[in-house]
Amino acid sequence: MKTISTIRIKENTLKLNQLALKTTENIVLKTIDRAENLQEITSKNLKSTFDFTAKQQDRLFNNLEKGKGMIWTNLNKNFGFFSRN
């Protein structure tokens, strides 16, 4: 009777070990898949954020250039006015 019990214990232990390995493997694979998905989402969000930031920076510098042009135009007008008098 002891030999039957030890054989069954070994069989059950092997079955439990296989179940634990399969479960762990499934969990790890699902975790990796979710991490990959999150990485893709993060990558897309970062790309769109950088694109938006680049557009805003271009707008800022374009406005600064326009402002600089207006200032130089006004300065030249004022210099011309004072040089005539």
- pLDDT (0 to 100) of residue 54: 97
Helix, strand, coil percent content, the chain, rounded in steps of 5: 100, 0, 0
Q: What type of residue is 11?
A: E
Residue 85 pLDDT > 60, yes or no?
Answer: no
CA distances for 41 relative to 27, 30, 62, 82, angstroms:
21, 16, 32, 61
Q: What would the pLDDT profile of 14-61 be if each residue is shown by its tens digit? A: 999 999 999 999 999 999 999 999 999 999 999 999 999 999 999 999
Greater pLDDT, 4 or 51: 51
Query: What is the model's pTM?
Result: 0.57
